[in-house]
Amino acid sequence: MDSLRPCCFFEPSTRTRFSFETACARLGLHPLVLSGVEGTSLSKGESFEDTILNIQAMNPEIFIIRCGDNSALRDMAEKK
């Protein structure tokens, strides 16, 4: 079974997203891409932190996050 490799892009960036997807393709990896808020629990009011923790609970091998608010990620890292 393939390991979980989520790529979460909370800030639009064509170049960054395609760079990561290209790298994954070259390595034969199949990432799960979450792009934006539409179609996610974030659109229903779930917090950014809860979304990240829910994905983290799936024990991903690699977890890539692109967001405009680095302080949110820093705050989460400091809680651990």
Residues paired with 35 in a beta bridge: 9
Query: Residues 37-51: pLDDT tens digits?
Result: 787 888 899 888 888
State how far the Cα of 6 lies from the Cα of 61, in Å rounded to an integer.
Answer: 9
Distance CA 68, CA 28 (A): 29
pLDDT for residue 52: 84
Collapsing DSSP to helix, strand or coil, 37 comes out as coil
Instruction: Confirm whether pTM is higher than 0.85.
Output: no
Work out the average pLDDT over 4-14: 79
Q: What is the pLDDT of residues 23-40, one digit of tens each?
A: 888 988 888 888 777 878
Question: How far apart, in Å, are the Cα atoms of 3 and each of 30, 40, 50, 66?
Answer: 9, 21, 22, 20
pLDDT, position 2? 59
Question: For residue 80, is pLDDT > 70?
Answer: no
